[in-house]
Chains A and B, each alone.
Chain A
Amino acid sequence: MSTGSMTEIWVYLSAQPLVWLTLTLAAYLLAITLHRKAGGHPAANPVLISVAILVALLLATDTPYQRYFDGAQFVHFLLGPATVALAVPLHGQLKRLVAMGGPIVVALVVGSLVAGVSAYTIGALLGASAPTLASLAPKSVTTPIAMGIAERLGGLASLTAVFVILTGIFGAIFADGLLRRLGVKDEASIGFALGLASHGIGTARAFQLSEQTGAFAALAMGLNGLLTALTLPWLLPLLAPLIKP
């Protein structure tokens, strides 16, 4: 086949949703194979590897993200039902969750405040601008909540989405190693921390560890999303004097 007709076929196919949907699944399959080969090492994070492969492909073929998303949206759509499905492992762990109700509420409030306030304070002290800070503060919660909060606080929703993803990947890679080093070895606490600080991507990591870890992560993700949405909008104005002019 000549290069000319190859190019023609590519031009046709790359405009179809099918090619980017297929490549998304292929990149993910390659990523989980690598993850398995690395013995499940958290640094071989499947989201990180898949995204790296796809960004390289899109840049190499000069494909705009919007055209990629036309195909990939079918995968993206499943996030909704998957979030609802988290109720099933939550139900499976209900007895333990209820028994730990008090400690869970305290850990939720402490963790939620520390994650949001420290992001804003550290960024402000290092000279980040007000819109960046408002986009950064809700980064530990799941994307749609974080984007809504950021917009209300004068941040940029799309920038927030990036911070949320980066936070998720970072937490998924480092959380269990970090907590184990501090002597936190029980599945409940590791799962809870993963879901609270790193939302859905942390929860996906937690399910790689065990179903119980995943259930606690799902609970923390949901609760922190709710608490952050309720607290950050009145908390951040109190911290605004920290911003450098």
Chain B
Amino acid sequence: MTAALALLLAFQLAGEALRVALHLPVPGPVIGMALLLVYLILRPEGPSTELRNTAGGLLQNLSLLFVPAGTGVMLHVGRLADEAWPIAIALVASTVLGLIAAGLTLHWLAHRPQGGRQ
């Protein structure tokens, strides 16, 4: 587990370094994810069992990791009250529209019957 955690942290660090060096608009961990993916593709045997287990353990509890930031919602309750309705409607409607647009587009394009292009 230690070696796998060290590997994840090393890739995060590399992502962070790359972000600062190249002024990339994407956070370090997301760049680290892309770098680790490239590394896994280049490695003929793919991820080690250890890395698979450590990654699985972290991702099974991914919800937990959002709790500290989520609790920060309490700081902004007052600020939200002024424009509560425009915010609530815009947030709910645009999330629904985004979900439908992405889900339906991929579903239609990827599951089009063979030769069914009209």
Q: How far is the CB of B49 from chain A (nearest CB, A)?
A: 11
Report B-chain residues with C-beta under 8 Å of the C-beta of A45. Answer: 63
Contact check, B98 vs A88: say whether CB atoms are below 8 A apart.
no
Interface size class on chain A is 35 or more
Interface size class on chain B is 35 or more
Residues B55-98 near A (CB distance < 8 A): 55-56, 58-76, 79-80, 83, 85-87, 89-98
Q: How far is the CB of B94 from chain A (nearest CB, A)?
A: 4
Contact check, A158 vs B76: say whether CB atoms are below 8 A apart.
yes
Report B-chain residues with C-beta under 8 Å of the C-beta of A218. Answer: 33
| C-alpha spacing A195/B67, complex, angstroms | 18
Contact check, B105 vs A111: say whether CB atoms are below 8 A apart.
yes
Residues B22-45 near A (CB distance < 8 A): 25-30, 32-34, 36-37, 39-41
Contact check, B34 vs A165: say whether CB atoms are below 8 A apart.
no
Closest to B110 in A: A103
- B interface, over-half SS: helix
B18 within 8 A of A: no
The verdict on A106 contacting B109 (CB below 8 Å), with A27-B67, A167-B91 known, is: yes
- In the complex, which of the residues B46, B65, B90, B101 contacts A91, with contact meaning CB atoms closer than 8 Å? B46
- In the complex, which of the residues B30, B54, B71, B92 contacts A222, with contact meaning CB atoms closer than 8 Å? B30
Closest to B56 in A: A88
Interface string of B1-36 (1 = CB under 8 A from A): 000010011011001000000000111111011101
Contact check, A84 vs B70: say whether CB atoms are below 8 A apart.
no
Contact check, A79 vs B103: say whether CB atoms are below 8 A apart.
no
Contact check, B66 vs A47: say whether CB atoms are below 8 A apart.
yes
Residues A96-147 near B (CB distance < 8 A): 100, 102-104, 106-108, 110-112, 114-116, 118-120, 122-123, 126-129, 132, 136, 139-140, 142-145
